[in-house]
Amino acid sequence: MTRTSARASGRRLEPRMLTGAQIVLECLTRERVSHVFGYPGGAILPVYDVMPAYPIHHVLARHEQGAVHMADGFARAGGGVGVAMATSGPGATNMVTGIATAMMDSSPLVCITGQVSSSLIGSDAFQETDITGVTLPITKHNYLVTEADEIAPALREAFYIARSGRPGPVLVDITKDAQQGSCSFDWEAAEPKPPGYRPDHRPRAAEVRHALDLINGSARPVILLGHGVILGEAENLVKAFAERTTIPVAMTLLGIGAFPGSHPLNLGMMGLHGEAWVNEAVQQADLLIALGMRFDDRVTGKLAEFAPGARKIHVEIDPAEVNKNVPVDVGLIGDVRDVLEALLPGVTPNDHAAWLAHIDGLRGHATARSIQGFDDDGHLYAAHAIHDLWQATRGRALVVTDVGQHQMWEAQYYRHESTRSLITSGGLGPMGFAVPAAIGAKLARPDADVWAIVGDGGFQMTMAELGTMVQEGVKVNIAIINNGCLGMVRQLQEFFYGARYHATPLVNPDFVTLASAYGIRGIRVTERAGVAAAVAAAAAHDGPVLLDIRVESGDAVYPMVAAGAGLDQMIRRPAQEATR
Amino acid sequence: MSSTFVVYVEDKPGVLNRVASLFRRRAFNIESLTVGHTDTPGVSRMTIVVGTDRDGARKVEAHLYKLVNVLRVDDVTSTPAVFRDLAMIKVQASAETRSHIMQLVDVYRARIVDVAPDSLMVEVTGTEDKIDSLLDVLRPYGVLEAVRTGRVAMARGAARTPRVRPASAALRGPMPRIPREPAASGPVQLTA
Ligand SMILES: Cc1ncc(C[n+]2csc(CCOP(=O)(O)OP(=O)(O)O)c2C)c(N)n1
Ligand SMILES: [Mg+2]
């Protein structure tokens, strides 16, 4: 019985007998999964064997970490659940970094792994790894499934848990005998109802009133916008809220894009490498309204000195995040969307003119020291390259960044106007994220102009995925910000380890030649004028293009909050003469 | 300072591991953990004593609620509740000391559960303090072996075990709603 004929006949044909492997694919199909990112092996082969009969496209990665990052990029770009698949043992353990990445950034994934047959579990059989044990602390939930008739309930519940509440990765480990066994399949009966799981929190009316009092009574408020606004699809409500109250908006790295970059109320990114005026405004505020962010140590600086004069309202879907790092005056637990809907009718308009003028003053002072003001002195700075990439793509690219200096420069100099236009790993920060996540993002949003901005170090961690790009015919453009070193670590050595540059210089391959081995067009850029031209060439080219942008190797990301210091204790960029 | 939680969980493989792992992962120290069945099929009940203050207890509770298999968490640290520990103590007993020991056992409302030529086995239930104290007075006679269950707790009043389907059916049929405690026992107390 094929799916199409069952549909066509319109009769209810269930329950019917299927193998466990077929049930996996029936479930994926009914969850409207279009792409599975994976890598086969013995313990998952029954599933791979029946996959071609289903309307699901399998993307063969070159490493299971890449497969999970692809699923993650797919989820973050498209808003659905990403699905990754791997075999037992090494296939499953290779997924770990990708899963931890998704966990830290609340990305909805379902990861399916094959497992040795249930009779062999516990015997240290070939390629047996206790992957539910390994991933216990880095998944939202996980399942070990040993019977065919447990597959549908576990998978349905996995999708439900991955996407509801605070999203996250869920792993389903299925033994080979469960895949091979048969049972009757009944989708309806497998409806998920985990009894202890309650994702649907709502704030209490008294708390909403308390929050409104604080909002309406504040003179120096700042909104702190985080990833939760994007996950909760509350971008428009945040805009309405900010505009009605005239409250300026600072954002975390993962909040970028949720509020238009050119909006007059947009302050920019806060935190370790946030703009100086943003951190100063946060520190001087009398009220912080945190929306879907978790006061990560990268955004607070020294906790004891964080925003000392501010009352704090925390709007957050995960109760465990409230009062975790920063004690707050009001916690509004619920979906950002619902909470903002509850708050909006009660806010009184206020122009906050004096406060905004004060922040403008802070901004003017800091801009004078920005690298943007520096003349082109023949050196190619990464910040300039990214700024020019922003202009050449008219600010409309979907950018996926890796981890390091280039990631921070991107956040500072690429101005994002629309939501889900920056995908980056904020919580775990695994090098090697960008290229595979960009592949996933492009498959979720085929019309987007997808750019991976990646360091020369991180690129080499997952550059094997160039093969996936070519095999899948995915047009992702790659800009390697090539500074010949592990720049972010070098920067730490410069500031905190007496400039002893041990193990940070890189001897790199010729990336243009490497690209050509894959049939990918490579362009080397060595001067500022070449950036826009290369971006134009990439836009005109039919397939993927790789830019090897050779930038200054000794540069550092500024401003930078000094180690263990308060958020406004920042090390600033020296004046131009002093740089070199 | 320590806090005591009663945690109702689904009776499924691996759930104890998930709970214990959470404490390790969040760097909370478990002082005692007991687990057993309840009167409701499919529901196990844990009493967990954690070395943490009020602030930490609130975090523990919120993190516990994030585990999918956790049904309900009651922080009984400062609510009216009965706490009990059970101990079995094997103590040396000669012809001369035997009657002294039996008198002590009486004072503590403990029981002799085994008698051997040179020893007695004492069973005692009560608060940790009471058991510590009995151990102190028996020690001079020569304690050969002692075992304690760790604290179990039950809130006074009418609160009851949450009801769920048995574990085997838990993923299948429709699930009855878990009775929640009134708002006060929700995951986090928030209002300033
Ligand atoms: C998998 C992994 N290993 C190590 C690190 C630590 N680390 C953070 S940034 C960085 C350097 C990145 O170098 P590169 O990719 O060249 O980017 P750049 O900082 O030079 O822009 C390193 C090693 C990491 N984040 N991820
Ligand atoms: Mg580099």
Cβ pair A435, A466 in contact under 8 A = yes
Domains of chain B with bracketed CATH: 2-79 (3.30.70.260), 82-148 (3.30.70.1150)
What's the pLDDT band for A574 if we cut at 50, 70, 90? confident
Residue B166 has pLDDT above 80, yes or no: no
Report the distance separating Cα A213 and Cα A330, nearest Å.
Answer: 11
Q: What is the pLDDT of residues A45-93, one digit of tens each?
A: 999 999 999 999 999 999 999 999 999 999 999 999 999 999 999 999 9
Give the nearest partner residue to B21 out of A137, A189, A193, using CB atoms: A137
| Ligand 1, residues at Cβ distance < 6 Å | A 402-406, 429-431, 455-458, 481, 483, 485-489
Residue B181 has pLDDT above 50, yes or no: no
**Which residue of A lies nearest to B163 if distances are taken between CA atoms?**
A195
Residue A554 burial (CB < 10 Å; 0-12/13-18/19+)?
middle
Cβ pair A167, A80 in contact under 8 A = no
Q: Is A270 a catalytic residue?
A: no
Q: State the average pLDDT over residues A412-440.
A: 97
Residue B176 has pLDDT above 50, yes or no: no
Ligand 1 centroid from CA A428, angstroms: 12
Q: Express the helix, strand and coil content of chain A in percent, nearest 5 each.
A: 45, 20, 40
Q: State the average pLDDT over residues A538-553.
A: 97
| Range with the poorest average pLDDT among A132-146, A186-200, A457-471 | A186-200
Q: Is A320 in Cβ contact with B191 (below 8 Å)?
A: no
Report the distance separating Cα A577 and Cα A571, nearest Å.
Answer: 17
Q: What DSSP assignment string belongs to A374-402? A: S---S---HHHHHHHHHHHTTT--EEEE-
Q: State the average pLDDT over residues A203-211.
A: 95
Domains of chain A with bracketed CATH: 14-190 (3.40.50.970), 205-363 (3.40.50.1220), 382-577 (3.40.50.970)
> What integer pLDDT is reported at residue A371 of this predicted model?
73
Q: What is the DSSP letter of A143?
A: E
Q: Give B191 or B111, the one with higher predicted confidence.
A: B111
Q: Is A127 a catalytic residue?
A: yes
Q: What is the pLDDT of residues B108-149, one digit of tens each?
A: 999 999 999 999 999 999 999 999 999 999 999 999 999 999
Please, what is the average pLDDT of chain A?
94
Q: Is A195 in Cβ contact with B190 (below 8 Å)?
A: no
Residues of B in contact with A164 (CB under 8 A): none
A-B contacts (CB, under 8 Å): 87
Ligand 1 centroid from CA A431, angstroms: 5
> What integer pLDDT is reported at residue A576 of this predicted model?
57
> What integer pLDDT is reported at residue B185 of this predicted model?
35
Residue A376 CA: distances (Å) to CA of A383, A386, A527, A533, A576: 12, 14, 9, 17, 11
Ligand 1 centroid from CA A440, angstroms: 21
Mutate which of A402, A433, A486, A553 for ligand 1? The one with the most ligand atoms within 8 Å of its CB, which is A486
Q: What DSSP assignment string belongs to A538-567? A: HHH-SS-EEEEEE--SS---SSEEPTT-BT
Residues in chain A whose beta carbon is closer than 8 A to a beta carbon of chain B? 132-133, 136-137, 140-141, 144, 150, 153-154, 157, 161, 189-198, 201, 204, 206-207, 210, 318-320, 322-324, 329-331, 333
Q: Is A150 in Cβ contact with B171 (below 8 Å)?
A: yes
ipTM: 0.90
What's the pLDDT band for A29 if we cut at 50, 70, 90? very high
Q: State the average pLDDT over residues B16-33.
A: 95
Residue A577 has pLDDT above 50, yes or no: no
Q: State the average pLDDT over residues A362-380.
A: 74
**Which residue of A lies nearest to B71 if distances are taken between CA atoms?**
A196
**Which residue of B lies nearest to A197 if distances are taken between CA atoms?**
B68
Residue A236 is which amino acid? N
Residues 6 or more apart in contact with residue B31 via CB below 8 angstroms? B2, B49, B50, B51
Give the nearest partner residue to B190 out of A141, A318, A322, using CB atoms: A322
